[in-house]
Amino acid sequence: MSPGSLEWLRARSRAALGVLDTSGEVRARIVHDDEMAAAHVRHLDIAGTTDVLTFDLRDDPDERTLDVDLLICLDEARRQASARGHEPERELLLYIVHGVLHCLGHDDHDEEDARRMHDLEDRTLEAIGVGVTFERNVG
């Protein structure tokens, strides 16, 4: 990724934290499928790659000031961005927002929770001028 793309991602991530009324440290490491798949097995005992893994490092999960490490997968972002008709950077930003929402108590383990979480992701991205990303369909 270019330095400009990384700066875009940093700036939009900070803006998203503001919209979500939270602050703190969110460190996102961009990895490829092989590293993500290894981490997925190591931490969750699930084979295969995934979009984002979230590591909430706060002592008190109710604290609004975040301390979180994210692994976000560039290869998965490229695949999903192509299917949704936008740039991989935008997809990576979606993954960052998704990880932050997990730390703020949102979950996507069932269909209804996933729908609510993805709606909040899109509303957050719209609020910072990026626009609907998860629900974006290509004609």
What's the mean pLDDT in 68-80? 97
Domains and CATH numbers, the chain: 3-127 (3.40.390.30)
pLDDT, tens digit (0-9, with 9 covering 90-100), for 14-69: 999 999 999 999 999 999 999 999 999 999 999 999 999 999 999 998 888 999 99
**Residue 137 pLDDT > 60, yes or no?**
no
**Residue 88 pLDDT > 90, yes or no?**
yes
DSSP string, 31-43: E-HHHHHHHHHHH
What's the mean pLDDT in 109-128? 94
% helix / strand / coil in the chain, to the nearest 5?
55, 15, 30
pLDDT at residue 136, rounded to an integer: 64
What's the mean pLDDT in 62-77? 95
What residues pair up with 71 in beta bridges, in sequence order? 29, 53
Query: What is the spatial distance between Cα 56 and Cα 99, in angstroms, rounded to a whole number?
Result: 9
In contact, 69 and 57? CB cutoff 8 Å: yes
Query: What is the spatial distance between Cα 107 and Cα 90, in angstroms, rounded to a whole number?
Result: 21
Look up tokens 């935008």; give the residue.
Answer: 90
Work out the percent of the chain whose per-residue pLDDT is above 90.
86
pLDDT at residue 135, rounded to an integer: 81
Per DSSP bridges, beta strands 52-56 and 65-73 are antiparallel
In angstroms, the Cα distances linking 74 to 58, 59, 85, 94, 115 are: 26, 29, 16, 12, 24
pLDDT at residue 138, rounded to an integer: 43
pLDDT at residue 139, rounded to an integer: 39
